[in-house]
């Protein structure tokens, strides 16, 4: 049985105020072709179908057209869709009876009183599987658990309980390969620098991968935008978004996961998604003088691009020519572009580790702040516990950091 796992489409999203409709359409067309070419039996979409709880009608239309077209091309295909934190559970569920006619199963909400509702026995022409289709869990979905316990459960504990109940319900069914779907931040996942910053700070809401059970043959996750394995397991994966969600992802290859499941084995391989709409940042590295920047812009050759690329421009804040906007506009005149603004850069970063820094883990960056490290060192030292860091020492550290900054070492 062949399964394809994708997530975080964010249909209806705008990128710097530009509609992504055409880009989404190009992806969906590619997906339909890929599902047909790869003879896929089951498509899993692990949440965040839409970008907002009230997507534009065009985005909903796009999803339904995709399902209709794809079922025409691949009549035997089954589809499972779960709601993510961006989706409205009710809206996703509204079309459930109609979508069922297209072998498309949608799960918007988890009900603690009926965990079996998220367990879907899927029977394809090349085999069967049970899918635990767990949507994004809001605290309010889990409040019933708290009424049963003496001690209130943490969010993470309640989520673990929800998965346990659903997996138990799946365990009561006749034996078949088990797939678990979820939309959450599982422990160990990397965070993309810009586009998910507001999701989780310092990994506080990250949930241990243990909750998915050893019984699961494959765990299809959504929520994090970079494709990755979780807890070093080849079969617990985020597929990531199909397209860049920020300029930091401009050189990253987006992907979907292709899973081959049998009674005894599970192999997973990524399939790379073509870039349908280029994301360009100029200059790529350090800022250059305005005249040089304008030259770079005039030289941009976009004749090979199907869809107008996104372009963002960097200019040093020290460049004080007040006509910079006009000059940049002039350099771009007549070019088919989606302009995403001019970034005034105060301080150049060190670009040595640019590739590496693409998806820096926010918690790691926070942990490496020298001042908080100093505070921690004080708090942890047996002789100084409870004492504040002396001001002289703080100042000394600031001086050293400033010095290193001017030498461009940090």
**Rounded to the nearest 5°, which phi and psi values hold at 221?**
-110, 155
Q: How far is CA 180 from CA 71, 169, 215, in A?
A: 23, 12, 10
- Name the minimum Å distance from CB 240 to Mn ion: 11
Integer Cα distance of 178 and 243 in angstroms? 29
Q: How far is the CB of 185 from Mn ion (least distance, A)?
A: 9
Helix (H) or strand (E) holding 43: strand 42-46
| Binding to Mn ion in span 273-312, by CB under 5 A | none
Contact 54, 15 (CB under 8 A): no
- Our finding on whether 12 is near Mn ion (CB under 5 A) is no
Of 219-227, 282-290, 365-373, 378-386, which segment contacts Mn ion by CB under 5 A? 219-227
Pick 178 or 184: Cβ nearer Mn ion: 184
Other Cβ atoms within 10 Å of 160 Cβ, number: 17
CB 196 to Mn ion: min, Å = 8
The owner of tokens 């779960």 is: 82
What does each C-alpha distance from 152 to 139, 142, 145, 149, 315 come to in angstroms?
A: 12, 11, 9, 6, 52
Site for Mn ion in 240-259 (CB under 5 A): none
Nearer Cβ to Mn ion, position 9 or 276? 9
- The minimum distance between CB 379 and Mn ion, in angstroms, equals 34
Q: Which stretch binds Mn ion (CB under 5 A): 153-161, 163-171, 220-228, 230-238?
A: 220-228
The number of residues in the chain equals 410
Based on CB atoms, which residue is closest to Mn ion, 85 or 363?
85
Q: How far is the CB of 239 from Mn ion (least distance, A)?
A: 12
Q: Which is nearer to Mn ion, 101 or 198 (CB)?
A: 198
Report, in Å, the least distance between residue 184 CB and Mn ion. 9
Q: What are the start-end ranges of the H helices in 38-122?
A: 57-73, 89-94, 96-100
CB of 183 to Mn ion, least distance (A): 6
| Binding window for Mn ion (CB under 5 A); candidates: 24-32, 45-53, 121-129, 306-314 | 45-53
> Is position 223 an interface residue for Mn ion (rule: CB under 5 A)?
yes
Contact 231, 239 (CB under 8 A): no
CA distance 156 to 170: 21
* DSSP 8-state symbol, 368: T
Count of C-beta atoms within a 10 Å radius of residue 40: 25
Of 77-85, 123-131, 326-334, 391-399, which part binds Mn ion (CB under 5 A)?
Answer: 77-85
Q: How far is the CB of 85 from Mn ion (least distance, A)?
A: 5
CB 285 within 8 A of CB 357: no
Residues 122-161 that bind Mn ion (CB under 5 A): none
Q: Tell me the site size for Mn ion, rule CB under 5 A.
A: 4
**Contact between 189 and Mn ion per CB under 5 A:** no
In angstroms and rounded to an integer, the radius of gyration of the C-alpha atoms of the chain is: 24
- Give bridge partners of residue 133 from the DSSP assignment: 181
Segment lying near Mn ion (by CB under 5 A), choices 41-49, 254-262, 276-284, 295-303: 41-49
The minimum distance between CB 9 and Mn ion, in angstroms, equals 11
Residue 201: closest CA among 358, 84, 86, 366:
366
Q: What are the CA-CA distances from residue 388 to residues 367, 381, 383 (Å)? A: 19, 12, 12
Q: Which is nearer to Mn ion, 47 or 309 (CB)?
A: 47
Among 23, 41, 48, 249, interactor with Mn ion by CB under 5 A: 48
Residue number with CB closer to Mn ion (7 or 32): 7
Other C-beta atoms lying within 10 Å of the C-beta of residue 65: 12
Least distance in angstroms from the C-beta of 47 to Mn ion: 6
Region of 40-48, 261-269, 283-291, 347-355 interacting with Mn ion (CB under 5 A):
40-48
Residue 140 C-beta: closest distance to Mn ion, Å: 17
Binding mask 78-97 for Mn ion (x = CB under 5 A): ------xx------------
109 versus 223: smaller Cβ distance to Mn ion: 223
Q: Reply yes or no: is the peptide bond before residue 72 cis, omega within 30 of 0.
A: no
**Max CA separation in the chain (angstroms):** 73
- Using the contact rule CB under 5 A, the part of the chain among 51-59, 170-178, 217-225, 316-324 near Mn ion is 217-225
DSSP strand pairing (233-238 vs 14-15):
unpaired
Quote the distance between the C-alpha of residue 312 and its chain's center.
22
Binding site for Mn ion (CB under 5 A): 48, 84-85, 223
């Amino acid at each position: 049985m062949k399964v394809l796992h994708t997530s975080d489409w964010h249909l209806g999203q705008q990128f710097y105020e530009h509609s992504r409709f055409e880009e989404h359409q190009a992806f969906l067309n590619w997906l339909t072709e890929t599902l047909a070419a790869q003879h896929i039996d089951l498509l899993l979409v692990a949440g965040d179908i839409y970008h907002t709880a009230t997507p534009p009608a065009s985005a909903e239309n796009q999803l339904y057209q995709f399902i209709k077209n794809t079922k025409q091309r691949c009549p035997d295909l089954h589809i499972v869709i779960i709601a993510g934190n961006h989706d409205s559970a009710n809206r996703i569920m509204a079309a459930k009876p109609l979508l069922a006619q297209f072998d498309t199963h949608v799960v918007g909400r988890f009900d603690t009183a009926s965990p079996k509702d998220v367990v879907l026995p899927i029977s394809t022409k090349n085999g069967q599987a049970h899918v635990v289709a767990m949507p994004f869990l809001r605290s309010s979905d889990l409040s019933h658990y708290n009424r049963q316990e003496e001690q209130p459960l943490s969010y993470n504990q309640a989520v673990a309980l929800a998965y346990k109940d659903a997996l138990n319900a799946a365990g009561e069914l006749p034996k078949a390969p088990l797939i678990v779907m979820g939309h959450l931040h599982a422990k160990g996942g990397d965070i993309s620098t810009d586009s998910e910053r507001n999701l989780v700070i310092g990994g506080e809401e990250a949930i241990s991968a243990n909750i998915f059970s050893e019984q699961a043959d494959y765990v299809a996750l959504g929520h994090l935008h970079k494709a990755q394995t979780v807890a070093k397991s080849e079969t617990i994966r985020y597929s990531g978004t199909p397209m860049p969600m920020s300029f930091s992802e401009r050189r990253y290859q987006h992907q979907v996961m292709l899973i081959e499941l049998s009674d005894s084995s599970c192999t997973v391989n990524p399939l790379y998604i073509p870039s349908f709409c280029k994301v360009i940042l100029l200059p790529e590295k350090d800022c250059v003088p305005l005249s040089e920047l304008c030259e770079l812009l005039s030289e941009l050759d976009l004749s090979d691009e199907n869809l107008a690329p996104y372009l963002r421009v960097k200019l040093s804040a020290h460049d004080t020519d007040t006509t910079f906007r006009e000059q940049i506009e002039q350099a771009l005149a007549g070019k088919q572009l989606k302009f995403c603004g001019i970034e005034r850069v105060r301080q150049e970063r060190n670009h040595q580790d640019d590739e590496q820094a693409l998806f820096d883990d926010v918690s790691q960056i926070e942990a490496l702040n020298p001042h908080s490290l100093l505070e921690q060192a004080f708090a942890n030292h047996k002789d100084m516990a409870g004492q504040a860091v002396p001001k002289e020492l703080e100042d000394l550290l600031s001086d050293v950091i400033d010095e290193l900054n001017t030498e461009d070492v940090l």
